[in-house]
């Protein structure tokens, strides 16, 4: 299948590589062109523009950073270049409002739209073991399903409305952030009473909270290790903002989201935007007058 892939950051590069390895004809584009060189070595074509990557493609995937990037690149360049009957798959975490806008604009041009954001860190993306939530019209989903299965260990169907996958992703990231903030505060409490974060979290990870999120992020907090970032704190701040905005449209109170928003904002003010968002533990420790 002729595929375009837009956005080759820490997640997108591994995803695009798996499509190339799956035997597809993949043309990639990234704003920083040098990032595409490893994919070129695998056999991908490198486009000079996002529109060029979309021309002649049966399916275009994107993994871009935020609403602004998706609106600029997809609505401004990619969508006008896609032929009728092509399908665009969005893997980025975007607002519910933008998911609706993308659905409407694609319908108007006769182009399919599938919302398929992912859960997983860069190493999971590279291994093709992401968890993916996907929603869109059945015909479009059927067309791209074999491609999604190259990227994910599991594709979780969320129905025919693209908004559904978007809100599941936003809500899932909120839960991750809330878990990190809870571990950060609890670890600060134990440290204040002389119990090391490592000792406390080891008990939690092997008893009450043995899920991957607690093990991955709890391990980072225990070691005070937040670089290199698998998911930047600044992106966590963005995603919690998306959750709050989605909640406001339906008048859903989310008091924990407000606490998490403020903690992330405090972290950004400390200059921690580029570290992993497990670094929320540093703010919790600072509030308790504990050394990092």
Q: Check if 169 is active-site.
A: yes
- What is the rounded distance in angstroms from the CA atom of residue 229 to the CA atom of residue 241? 20
Q: Is the separation of the CB atoms in 82 and 60 below 8 Å? A: yes
- Residues near 140 by beta carbon (within 8 Å), at least 6 away in sequence: 87, 112, 113, 114
- What is the rounded distance in angstroms from the CA atom of residue 105 to the CA atom of residue 111? 9
Q: Is the separation of the CB atoms in 132 and 152 below 8 Å? A: yes
Q: Which of 245, 233, 236, 241 has its CA nearest to residue 271?
A: 233
Active-site option among 143, 169, 232, 238: 169
Distance of CA 221 to the CA centre of its chain: 21
Please, is 284 exposed, middle or buried when counting C-beta atoms within 10 Å of its C-beta (0-12, 13-18, 19+)? buried
HEC profile for 178-194? Answer: HHHHHHHHHHHHHHHCC
Please, is 211 exposed, middle or buried when counting C-beta atoms within 10 Å of its C-beta (0-12, 13-18, 19+)? exposed
Distance of CA 113 to the CA centre of its chain: 18
Cα 172 to Cα 59, 60, 179, 240: the distances in Å are 26, 25, 11, 10
Cα 251 to Cα 162, 237, 261, 290: the distances in Å are 21, 21, 18, 38
Kindly list the catalytic residues. Answer: 169
């Amino acid at each position: 299948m002729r595929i375009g892939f837009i956005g080759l950051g820490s997640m997108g590069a591994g995803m695009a590589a798996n499509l190339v390895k799956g035997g597809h004809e993949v043309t990639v584009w990234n704003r920083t062109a040098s990032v595409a060189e490893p994919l070129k070595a695998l056999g991908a074509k490198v486009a000079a523009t996002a529109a060029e990557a979309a021309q002649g493609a049966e399916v275009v995937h994107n993994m871009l950073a935020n609403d602004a990037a998706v609106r600029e690149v997809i609505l401004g360049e990619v969508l006008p270049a896609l032929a009728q009957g092509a399908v665009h798959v969005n893997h980025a975490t975007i607002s519910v409002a933008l998911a609706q806008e993308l659905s409407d604009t694609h319908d108007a041009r006769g182009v399919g739209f599938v919302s398929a954001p992912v859960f997983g860190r860069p190493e999971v993306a590279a291994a093709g073991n992401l968890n993916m939530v996907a929603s869109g019209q059945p015909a479009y989903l059927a067309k791209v399903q074999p491609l999604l299965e190259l990227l994910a260990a599991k594709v979780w169907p969320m129905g025919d409305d693209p908004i559904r996958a978007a809100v599941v992703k936003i809500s899932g990231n909120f839960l991750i952030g809330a878990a990190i903030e809870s571990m950060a505060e609890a670890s600060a409490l134990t440290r204040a009473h002389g119990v090391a974060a490592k000792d406390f979290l080891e008990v939690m990870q092997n008893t009450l909270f043995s899920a991957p999120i607690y093990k991955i992020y709890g391990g980072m907090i225990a070691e005070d290790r937040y670089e290199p970032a698998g998911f930047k704190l600044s992106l966590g701040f963005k995603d919690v903002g998306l959750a709050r905005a989605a909640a406001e449209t339906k008048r859903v109170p989310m008091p924990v989201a407000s606490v998490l928003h403020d903690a992330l904002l405090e972290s950004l003010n400390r200059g921690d935007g580029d570290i992993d968002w497990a670094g929320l533990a540093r703010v919790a420790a600072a509030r308790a007058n504990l050394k990092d």
